[in-house]
Structure formats: structure tokens, C-alpha cells
Amino acid sequence: MMDFVLASHNRRKIAELEAILRTFAPDQTKFRLLSLEDIGVTEEIAEGGATFEENAIIKASVPASRGYWGIADDSGLCVDALDGEPGIWSARYASINNFDAGLSADGNNNMLLLQKLKDVPLEQRTAKFVCVIAVCPPLGKADPITVRGECPGIILEAPRGTEGFGYDPLFYYEPAGKTFAELTADEKNEVSHRARALTELKEMKIIK
């Protein structure tokens, strides 16, 4: 049995990754999916990379250094009208801009994004969610593998929906006619940037 560690403390992200991964590998007797807490890692992993790829590898290398297969993703929202912001800073967008509207971290991030786009017409609010997944073999036995998935959308002028997390309430996915926060978890897991990256990973047959 192979042990894979999802290198994240974000419970919602872990649940989303795990749900998609398990659809790829129905024979769950061949592997286990563990969290960082399961292997005794409780501290946050510092993300010092300049790209999604670099950050994903940094995170996945932590469990790999302890003898496990490490899987990590680095994801973010890239808005064309903002020259790709918030990008790799998506989760900390408000904090790095010293912006605090008295909301949750997600709420502050969304509020700041809306403020920065307040004079941008809807047709110019194009964006994409990006997900890069890195897989690091145990103890550096092979080079890390990275795959990338992207999902295009539009940033609305007001949030819609109550599902998902992060920027999902603002991200309008045109083929569905809904924001990511209006999709069910199963619907989102079929089309999201994370699902697209994991589809690429599936083709490599690392988890069987």
C-alpha cells in the first residue's frame, strides 16, 4: 500500500482534492491518503516561491522528506484587468495589501478584489483559476512532477452562492451559467481548475 500525504492544512481544499482523487482510483485498498497532521506536521509551510509551480513543489517536498509521497497544490485567481493579480498571493491578497474590512480572510480578499475592479466593465473582468499540482516521490528518489489546470471565467460585480470557498462566489463559469459558489461540490469537481490538473495527473497513473 502506498501512502500519499496531501500537503495542506486547508480542510476544504483537502476534501476537494480527496474527493476527486478517489474517483480516479476506485480500488482504495492500494493507497492511503493522509494529511500533514497524520504525519505530525502542524506548522504552516512557508511558500517562498515566485510561481504556482515553485510553491506546489515546496509544499509537496515536506512529506517527501519524511519518506512519503507528497502531493500539494498551489492555486489562485488571475484577473486579466489586474495584470494577473492576485495570482500566487490569492489566499493572502488582503493581508499583503493591508486591507481589512472586518470580514473573514475570504471576505476581505473578495471585498478588495471588488474594490480594485469597481471601474472595470463586466466584459473586461475576465479571469482564470489556476491550479498546479506537484507530486514529490519519497526522499528525493526522483524529480518532482507538476501538472497544471486552468478554468476561465468572469469576475462578477457582487457575490452569488453559498458553496465553495475563496473567490468562488465572484467567479462566474459561463458554460454552467453559475458562479462556482452556486455549483454543487460534485458539479464543481467536474469542471474546476483543480479537477483539470488532477485529470492530467491521472494520465500519469501514479495513483492506480
Active site residues: 74
Q: Amino acid letter at 180?
A: F
97 grid coordinates: 495589501
CA angle, residues 89, 93, 98, in degrees to nearest 5: 130
159 grid coordinates: 457575490
Continuous H helices in 82-180? 93-96, 105-116
Bridge-based pairing state of the strands 126-136 and 145-155: antiparallel
DSSP character for 86? Answer: B
Residue 98, Cβ density class (10 Å: 0-12 exposed, 13-18 middle, ≥19 buried): exposed
2 grid coordinates: 502506498
